Structure 1
Amino acid sequence: MSEEKKKELFEIQRIYIKDASFEAPNTPNIFYIDWIPTIKLNLNTSANKIKKNIFEIVLKVNLIAKIKEELVFLCDIDQAGIFFIANLSEKRLNHCLYSYCPNILFPYARACISNLISHGSFPQINLAPINFDALYNNHIKLEKEI
C-alpha cells in the first residue's frame, strides 16, 4: 500500500508593519522646487522559520525620491507576515516564501508608503504591481549561473 500524499496547507496568521520610516530632510525648501522627481525603488524579501511550519516573511521596500541631486524624501517599510505552511516540497516552499507570500504583503506595504508620503505633504505615488514570480525566477536563474 502506498503512502497517502499529505495535503498541502497554507494559512495567513498575521500581517503587520515591522518597521516604518519616512524622512524629508530638505523641507520646507523642497516644496518650492518644481515637482519633477526621480524615484528609485528597492525591494528585498527575507524568510525566517519561527517553528515547525510557521514562517515570518518580511518584504522590505525602500523608496527614494530626488529632484536633480536633492533628496526629497526617503521611505522605508518592512511589511511582515506570519504564515503557516505545511507539506510542500522544498522547491514549492521556496517559491511560496519568496514569491507568493511577498505578493500577499505588497499591497499592504504600498498602502503604508502611500499614506506616509501623503502625510509628508507630497503628491501621492502609487507603486505599480510587482511581478514577484518573475523576480523569483530571475533570482533562481542567477543562482544557477554562479
Structure 2
Amino acid sequence: MSDTNGGTQPEAAGAQQGTQPELPRMQVLGQFIRDMSFENVAAQKAMQANVQPDIQVQVALDARKREAEGQYDIIMKLKIESKTKGDAPETVFLLELEYGGVFRVENVPEQQLHPYLLIECPRMLFPWVRRIVADVTRDGGFPPLNLDQIDFLALYRQQLAQRVAAKPVADA
C-alpha cells in the first residue's frame, strides 16, 4: 500500500508544479546608510522655530544590478526640509539620507523586473528609513518626524512619466 501512495503523490505534486508558475522571491541580503546629512539650521542661527513647520519630503529611487546573479542594489534617496511658515520662510532643518539595500530577486520576468525593483524592494526598506528619520530628527532636538507611508507604485509611475516626457520625440 505504501508503494502505491508513494508513487502517485509525487507524480500529482509534480503535475501541479508544472502547471503553476513559480512565485517571485525576494531576499534582503543587507541594508546600509550610504550617506546621511542633518543640518540643524535653527540651532546654528539661534532662531525659534514655529510649532507647526512646513515639511517637504522628496524621494528618489535607483536600482543597479550587481555582479552576482540575481542580486541588485536599491538606493532610496530622501531630502527632507523643514521650513518656518509665513511670508519669509526660513529653513529649520535639512535631512538628506541615502539608504540602500542589497536584494536577491528570483522568478521575476525580465519585463517586470524594473518595476519590481523600484516598487517592492523600497517597500521592504521603508520601515528602517522611517525609523532613522524619526531618530535623527529627535536626536537633533526636534519632535520625531514620523514619515507617512510612501506609495511606491505612484512614485514609480510618476518617475516613468517624467522619463517619457524628458525623452526627445524621434522624427518619423
User: What aligned pairs does 1:19-30 form with structure 2 within 5 A after superposition?
Assistant: 19-27=35-43, 29-30=46-47
The reply to whether residue 88 of structure 1 matches residue 108 of structure 2 is yes
Which of 125, 129, 140 is equivalent to 1:120?
140
Which of 80, 84, 87 is equivalent to 1:67?
84
Question: Percent of counterpart pairs with the same letter?
Answer: 27
User: What aligned pairs does 1:32-47 form with structure 2 within 5 A after superposition?
Assistant: 32-47=48-63
Structure with greater Cα Rg: 2
Amino acid at match of 1:99: I
Which residue does 2:28 correspond to in 1? 12
Q: Secondary structure at the match of 1:36?
A: coil
User: Any gaps of 5 or more consecutive residues in structure 1?
Assistant: none
Please state which structure has a larger fraction of its residues in helix.
2
Q: Alignment RMSD, CA only?
A: 2.1
Which residue does 1:57 correspond to in 2? 74
Please state which structure has a larger fraction of its residues in strand.
1
The reply to whether residue 131 of structure 1 matches residue 151 of structure 2 is yes
Amino acid at match of 1:67: T
* Aligned partners of 2:49 and 2:92 also within 8 Å: no
Matched residues, number: 142
Measured in 2, the distance between the counterparts of 1:19 and 1:33 equals 26
Q: Secondary structure at the match of 2:141?
A: coil
Which of 98, 104, 108 is equivalent to 2:124?
104
Q: Deviations over 1:76-112 (max 9, x none)?
A: 1111100011232123211211111111111111110
* Aligned partners of 1:78 and 1:109 also within 8 Å: no
Shift of 1:133: 1.2
Relative to the length of structure 2, the TM-score reads 0.73
Closer, same or farther: CA 142–120 of 1 in aligned 2, 3 Å: closer
Measured in 2, the distance between the counterparts of 1:96 and 1:38 equals 32
Shift of 1:42: 0.4
